[in-house]
A and B are shown apart, each in its own frame.
Chain A
Amino acid sequence: MNSKKDTFLKMLEQHKALIHKVSYSYCKQSEDRKDLTQEIIIQLWASFETYDPQYQYSTWIYRIALNTAISYYRKHQNRRERIETTAPIFEIKTTSEEIENDNPDLEILHSLIEKLADIDRALFLLYLDGVSQNQISDIMGISTSNVSTKINRRKKKLKTQFSNLKAK
Chain B
Amino acid sequence: MTDKELLQLWQSTDHKLEKMIKINKQIIGEVTALKINRSLGRMRMPKSIFILIGIPYTFLLWFICMITFLADSYIMASGFLIISLIMSYVVISYLLQLYQIGQIQSSRDIITVQQHLSQLRLSSFNCLKANVIQLPFWSICWISMNALKESPLIYGGSNVLIFSGLSYLSYWLYTNLSLDDPRSKVSQFFLSGIEWEPIEKAIQLAEELDEYRRL
Contact = CB atoms under 8 A, between A and B. Distances in A.
A20 B18 CA distance: 10
Contact of B3 (A105, A129, A155): A155
B12 A106 contact: yes
B13 interface: yes
Main secondary structure of the interface of B (DSSP, over half): helix
Contact of B17 (A13, A99, A159): A99
Size range of the chain A interface in the assembly:
20 to 34
- Closest 5 A/B residue pairs (Cβ): A128-B10, A13-B215, A99-B16, A17-B17, A159-B1
B9 A105 contact: yes
Contacts of A163: 1
A101 B16 CA distance: 8
Interface string A1-28: 0000000011001001100110000000
A130 interface: yes
B6 interface: yes
- Size category of the binding interface on chain B: 10 to 19
A126 to B, nearest CB: 11
A57 interface: no
Given A17-B21, A20-B17, A109 B3 contact: no
A98 interface: yes
B10 A99 contact: no
Nearest to A17: B17
A86 interface: no
B5 to A, nearest CB: 9
B116 to A, nearest CB: 25
A151 B158 CA distance: 95
Interface of B: 1, 3, 6-7, 9-10, 12-14, 16-21, 211, 215
A103 interface: yes
A1 B6 CA distance: 43
A87 B38 CA distance: 41
Contacts of B7: 128, 130
A162 B10 CA distance: 13
A55 B192 CA distance: 49
Contacts of B21: 16-17, 20
16 contacts: A16-B21, A17-B18, A99-B17, A100-B16, A100-B19, A100-B20, A101-B16, A103-B12, A109-B10, A128-B6, A128-B7, A129-B10, A130-B7, A155-B3, A155-B6, A158-B6
Given A9-B215, A13-B215, A163-B1, A109 B20 contact: no
A105 B20 CA distance: 20
A32 to B, nearest CB: 18
Given A105-B9, A163-B1, 10 more contacts: A9-B211, A16-B21, A17-B18, A20-B17, A21-B13, A106-B12, A106-B13, A109-B9, A155-B3, A159-B1
